[in-house]
Chains A and B, each alone.
Chain A
Amino acid sequence: MWNLRDKYAIAGIGCTAYTAKSGRTVLSLAVEACRKAVDDAGLAMAEVDGVVSFNFGDSVPSIAVATGLGLPSARYAVEFSSGGNAANLIVQAAAAAIEAGLAKNVLCFRAMNGRSGFRLGGGRELNSRGITQFTAPFGWITYPQAMAMWCRRHMIEYGTTSEQLGTVAVTCRRNASENERAMMRQPIALADHQSSRMIVEPFHLLDICLESDGACAVLVTSAAAAKDLRHPPVYIMGAAYGGGPNQGDDLFDAIRWPDHAHNYSKYIADDLWRSAGVGPQDVDVAEIYDCFTYSVLMQLEGFGFCKEGEGGEYVQNGRIDRDGELPINTHGGLLSEAYIHGLNHVFEAVEQLRGRAGARQIAGAEIALTTAGAMTCGSALVLRR
């Protein structure tokens, strides 16, 4: 379990514009976001000696970014081969590396041309090898198709409705309307969600996140060092990564997963809250991984904001609105800000805890939850100002 409560902090954040067609290389996007994060921290570039990232074969190696930034001594430039499940893991890994003496100031980034370049929602090879030989030949190919299977289980077990899913989409869009970074800012009503095109039952188009070109970065350093930098530190209270038994042969595969009505969050929640020393009742704002509307419900249950099966009811009646009991995805999330694979949730949490989120600001936000992942494995952070 994470045992570094409050010893490390996020001291800088940076991002590019989020677009459907950047017209730039992924490396350029990554370098821009990282440079901005270092500038935001008020740190000299030469002080940065680590770069951690994750990708799906759709990005650039951390050493390329270290080279592009001109880092004189990149002691810890590594990447995880992962999806959104790693968006908080890389922050945890950066702090762990500093604790181990491997580096002092570590950039974490995610960069991709996720709309104009390699699209995660696209098809797979016709020749299906490995675990894919048991999925793709049945036309089970995309992540919306994978996740819809999970959502259906929740509907079967608990009677969750499409309207409850839609509440998440509407909430995220309303928040995005106040966010100048967001790709989709036009508010929607529940009726718009319900009448949006069916993509894969039970998912309508508006249950599915955006595809985005862009990059996002955060700079991790020790709490002691962070105190001397430009902004008040955002401390990493708690962190957890993992999942349950039978996490599968790749991120798509969940054939042997115990029950798709629950995801990784159920399995890492105890570690997360114990490491942070707080509980769900202490969270002021939650940036919850929303590759699909449904994944939000499952994580609200898994992390203990409500009981198993009650996620659908929980999100109704304004509870997750900006002025509700648990404001979620204040930037609009992956559904409406951009799909930067979850690292943009960390960016927003830092803005909230700094009190610099403008019209989106949750008054007095002191503790934030960020989560990353939707299926068998994932990561989460508890941050505080």
Chain B
Amino acid sequence: MTYAKPVPVPDPDTRPFWEGCLQGKLLLQRCDACSGFRFPPSESCPNCGSERVSWVGSTGRGKVFSWIVVTHPVPREIYAADVPYVVALVELEEGVRMATNIVGCAPASIAAAMHVEVVFDRVSDEVALPKFRPARTHRAD
């Protein structure tokens, strides 16, 4: 069955990110000049303007910054079977945030600052989405 939900269309700035996901790697841009991590990907660094950048692997670990539970599907024909589902902003250990889904736990069990880790949901041959589940191991704060 073909995947009938919104899919990312990689562009020159984001292609390495999505290719990394397909290989099971969560890659982030780190500026070669100021060493800052950034996300979403961009050609030049918003902090210092440098275009010199390296793609480095994230630990894939982070914490829930905020989350919502979608109970009313929009569009209905796409999400009717998925509700309730959780969308979260996860703050990675590298300091950047990304939007994602929290999977592998009941929505009611999610709490602020909950430790999560990345899992890749390969929705088609071309696309793997980085989602997060409750962390099985995490470093002590």
A-side interface residues toward B, CB under 8 Å?
A: 121-142, 145, 148-150, 152-153, 156, 197-202, 246, 249, 255-256, 260
B136 within 8 A of A: no
Q: Does B5 lie within 8 Å of A131, measured CB to CB? A: no
Instruction: Note all chain A residues with C-beta closer than 8 A to B4.
Output: 126
B47 CB to nearest chain A CB (Å): 11
Q: How many A-B residue pairs have CB under 8 A?
A: 108
Given the complex of chains A and B, what is the CA–CA distance between A122 and B85 in angstroms?
18
- Once A134-B98, A140-B87 are accepted as A-B contacts, the answer to whether A255 and B72 lie under 8 Å apart by CB is no
Q: Does A138 lie within 8 Å of B100, measured CB to CB? A: yes
B75 within 8 A of A: yes
Chain A to chain B: the 3 pairs with minimum beta-carbon distance, closest first? A133-B8, A201-B69, A136-B6
Instruction: Note all chain B residues with C-beta closer than 8 A to A122.
Output: 74-75
Q: Does A199 lie within 8 Å of B72, measured CB to CB? A: yes
Instruction: Note all chain B residues with C-beta closer than 8 A to A137.
Output: 5-8, 127, 129
Q: Does B6 lie within 8 Å of A124, measured CB to CB? A: yes
B29 within 8 A of A: no
B27 CB to nearest chain A CB (Å): 14
- Once A134-B99, A255-B97, A255-B99 are accepted as A-B contacts, the answer to whether A139 and B5 lie under 8 Å apart by CB is yes
B130 CB to nearest chain A CB (Å): 9
- Once A138-B100, A139-B101, A255-B97 are accepted as A-B contacts, the answer to whether A200 and B71 lie under 8 Å apart by CB is yes
Instruction: Note all chain A residues with C-beta closer than 8 A to B10.
Output: 133
B79 within 8 A of A: yes
Instruction: Note all chain A residues with C-beta closer than 8 A to B127.
Output: 137
Instruction: Note all chain A residues with C-beta closer than 8 A to B100.
Output: 138
A161 CB to nearest chain B CB (Å): 15
Nearest B residue to A134, CB-CB: B40
What would be 21 A-B contacts, judged by CB atoms less than 8 Å apart?
Answer: A122-B74, A123-B74, A126-B4, A126-B5, A128-B7, A129-B11, A132-B6, A133-B8, A137-B127, A138-B99, A138-B101, A138-B129, A139-B85, A139-B101, A141-B75, A142-B74, A149-B68, A156-B66, A200-B68, A200-B70, A201-B69
